[in-house]
Amino acid sequence: NAGVTQTPKFQVLKTGQSMTLQCAQDMNHEYMSWYRQDPGMGLRLIHYSVGAGITDQGEVPNGYNVSRSTTEDFPLRLLSAAPSQTSVYFCASSSAGVRYGYTFGSGTRLTVV
């Protein structure tokens, strides 16, 4: 049981490049979310999904796209990377129904130069 798996762990992009951060969970969780963590800012919600085919925006969605074609996967796409997107990105998942705490992946550290 791997939990929430994020790839890659580290990435350096040039301004304007695009890339996809991968997130997969094997717990059959309905809910999945993407957060970014900046120094002194805590974790801020980018996008979230309550099930396959359903996504919605969080607090800081600009510059990011998501899709949820399967229950297991929730990729985050950066369309045109900017230095302001330098951050640590965390994916998390949770069961639906009764509220449970989200399980987090180990993060992707992204640097945009």
Partner 1 sequence: GESVGLHLPTLSVQEGDNSIINCAYSNSASDYFIWYKQESGKGPQFIIDIRSNMDKRQGQRVTVLLNKTVKHLSLQIAATQPGDSAVYFCAEMGGSNYKLTFGKGTLLTVNP
- Is residue 103 within 8 Å of residue 16, measured between CB atoms? no
Cβ atoms of 4 and 93 within 8 Å: the answer is yes
Of residues 15 and 41, the one with the C-beta less far from partner 1 = 41
> For partner 1, how many residues bind (rule: CB under 8 A)?
26
Q: Name 112's bridge partners.
A: 13
Q: Tell me how far, at minimum, the Cβ of 22 lies from partner 1, in Å.
A: 15
Q: How far is the CB of 59 from partner 1 (least distance, A)?
A: 8
Q: Cα–Cα–Cα angle for 12, 3, 49, nearest 5°?
A: 75
Q: In whole angstroms, what is the distance from residue 110 CA to residue 10 CA?
A: 6
Site for partner 1 in 33-52 (CB under 8 A): 33, 35, 40-45, 48, 50
Integer Cα distance of 73 and 52 in angstroms: 9
Our finding on whether 31 is near partner 1 (CB under 8 A) is yes
Residue 94 as a binder of partner 1 (CB under 8 A): the answer is yes
Which residues make up the interface to partner 1 (CB under 8 A)? 4, 31, 33, 35, 40-45, 48, 50, 58, 90, 92, 94, 96, 99-107
